[in-house]
Structure 1
């Protein structure tokens, strides 16, 4: 109480405003889950357009996504306490284990290295991913969140494609190793990040699996944009997802493939008319450049040396330890490992990796591939797993995992081959057994 009296009026006003905003966000996430997912999409859109979002000093540098995830987790806890609880499944138990491991490593890192350093490491790839997944998995049971998910993904993909087109119009189509001068600084020649390129590819897959003919034509154009962005990891993800769709969904695939191929062919001709040989040379340069993979592999081997004893291998090192290692040219690198599986091993150990594997395997087995939504989730998750070899997920990765858990909880109990429960036996009243006039059957009525 004394602290409130001595607090500056401006600080007190900001604190009250922050509490009101947090309360309003929590109410939105409790009662309007579709709008809440849209807010996550807006945060991801900010990252596509403007890069890192602004931060608010609250003891640590808090970002808008941090506040949204905290409000969503508060809403999820409220739903679990007051509303109908989802069925207890192995995948939800694995998610709870992951959350406990992350919070334990964060607490240990805050003590050893400070809350800011530990929070920066844990923020996006752990707290955001598993926090968003937990909210989507338990929010308002029975509500279909697939339409909101679909709108967010397609909107983010179209926005990313627009940003890419604007960048190409200013600086040309650059390869993965080219650099351009932007505001007096050298930057990568690709206008959007690999995460945005993956969103474009995933939205194209959503249109292929769930969309109609016009949507499939747009999917072909988005796939061409994804190729021209020249993120090779996303190329591999596209091969896995689109190839899996062609193999696992034989119905009408020739007609759908023909429409998509026609859209890709027309868009390719238009692009080649403007760039021609220079574009082909750029694509060939991106496909053959192996320098990025070399320094990544060298860094991975160096990072594994941080795990010295059995507790480190089982539970990982605390957040805030850092990722300093020697690159291929013996230069010190302190960025993320560019391998999410290694990042999980370093921070939550083999126990965390096993929990994530249990979560994904159990959820995918419950979902199945018999309907379009199940097939779509299978392909999206497989593409995401390939993407994790070279990059870490963010908010959108958490949305995908949460949607997988939610759909598994709703449909996994209705497995193919399981006998349906017998229909209830309806007992007729005694008066219904009385013989009608003119009939010869036995009119005995049991008493």
Structure 2
């Protein structure tokens, strides 16, 4: 490629980035739709190919989205600062440690290796910052978000049934090779898709409680049933944890609703078992629930990574290792793997040290504490629990962080997440 051609390519890329950032700032729906597209195609396109290569460095679509999110978050800094509140210092500290790890990695291992690992942090943190810079108090934005969540849930249901029709229910140990070159699970949804569907289910239950429309309850039940069918065991455990916390901290109406839902689910299950029409499906779900081999292998992997971190000395334990050093370790005693560990807390510790992990956990504790203090929105409590528990077995995903940002903003004292519902109900009563 000639210098002129490369210059035109770079100019075009910058122009496209500016246009996207402007659209993201002007119409937050652009960010919501970007996340929706990302999660819907996550099964077929687990890792999108690079858009272009500049000076030997690949540029991916998510790089541009993350950069635009950061730019818009900086433009919206007054709103971001107001939404962050006391958590600002924790977030700033974590971001500084992440950037320092990146700079150390560029110096020690080269730009390519360092940036590849940095993307693991860049994507979710950038989307989270953008989401926390949006004024979700606006009734129009709140309505737009809830409609997007409902439609996203139905899209994921359609994706799940399409995969069921193509590959069956699949299992945790079965894979298919896609054109992308990656081995993909035969389960109808990947873990991130199932997680988002669970969040959609929680939001729909909240909408049902506030709007008293049975359509939201039916929608939530369908979403929950599909979450069970797709056999993502981590998401099952996450759902149980969220239901348990909401039951403990919720009011008497919430407790009755959960107990009623559990009773109805038990009756339906007994009827299905008695009829025998879904014997194979029940057996497959039971086998998936009892298979702990994957988790046992991960525990060995985590232990090995921790041991290696301690062996590198106090500096690595306190501040983390440089980006680009890699995650090579034994998994399951006889399998050498190099991908990021399936544990977000361990990942943060490995690159930001005990200081970064403390700041991150402090942020989670602070946000969950504010949500439990207000308790005006049980969906927010559920989302925090979902993200906290999910992080134990997987890394945080960029497309889940938009709803996480909305949930965090709703814990602020000045935020009224159901103001539009109150106005609607008052109008209907008149």
Matched, 1:215 2:216: yes
- In structure 2, which of residues 391, 395, 399 is the aligned counterpart of residue 396 of structure 1? 399
List alignment gaps of at least 5 residues for structure 1.
1-5, 414-447
Matched, 1:55 2:50: yes
Displacement of 1:34: 3.3
Displacement of 1:345: 0.9
Paired residue for 1:230? 231
Displacement of 1:347: 0.7
Distance 2:285 2:270 in 1: 13
Matched, 1:66 2:66: no
Q: Residue 132 of structure 2 contacts residue 409 of structure 2 at CA under 8 Å; is this kept in 1? A: yes
Q: Deviations over 1:20-60 (max 9, x none)?
A: 21111221232222333332332333324433223122343
Larger Rg: 1
Q: Residue 247 of structure 2 contacts residue 258 of structure 2 at CA under 8 Å; is this kept in 1? A: no
Paired residue for 1:321? 325
Paired residue for 2:186? 189
TM-score (norm 1): 0.81
Secondary structure of residue in 2 paired with 1:251: helix
How many equivalent pairs are there?
405
Q: Which has the higher contact order (CA 8 A, sep 6+)?
A: 2
Q: Residue 73 of structure 1 contacts residue 134 of structure 1 at CA under 8 Å; is this kept in 2? A: yes
Displacement of 1:200: 1.2
Per the alignment, do residues 40 and 276 of structure 1 end up closer, same or farther by CA in structure 2, a change over 3 Å counting? closer
- Select the structure that is richer in helix: 2
**What is the RMSD computed on CA atoms of the aligned residues?**
3.1
1:25-40 equivalence runs, <5 A: 25-40=20-35
Distance 1:185 1:27 in 2: 34
Paired residue for 2:302? 300
TM-score (norm 2): 0.84
Secondary structure of residue in 2 paired with 1:408: coil
Q: Deviations over 1:388-423 (max 9, x none)?
A: 11101111332244224423345389xxxxxxxxxx
1:162-311 equivalence runs, <5 A: 162-179=158-175, 187-211=184-208, 212-247=213-248, 248-251=250-253, 254=256, 258=260, 276-307=278-309, 308-311=312-315
My pick for the range that moved more, 330-339 or 152-161, is 152-161
- In structure 2, which of residues 103, 127, 130 is the aligned counterpart of residue 107 of structure 1? 103
Distance 1:240 1:26 in 2: 37
Distance 1:267 1:35 in 2: 41
Displacement of 1:118: 1.7
Q: Deviations over 1:316-349 (max 9, x none)?
A: 1111111111122422111221111111111111
Displacement of 1:201: 1.2
Q: Residue 200 of structure 1 contacts residue 226 of structure 1 at CA under 8 Å; is this kept in 2? A: yes
Per the alignment, do residues 395 and 246 of structure 1 end up closer, same or farther by CA in structure 2, a change over 3 Å counting? same
Distance 1:264 1:20 in 2: 56
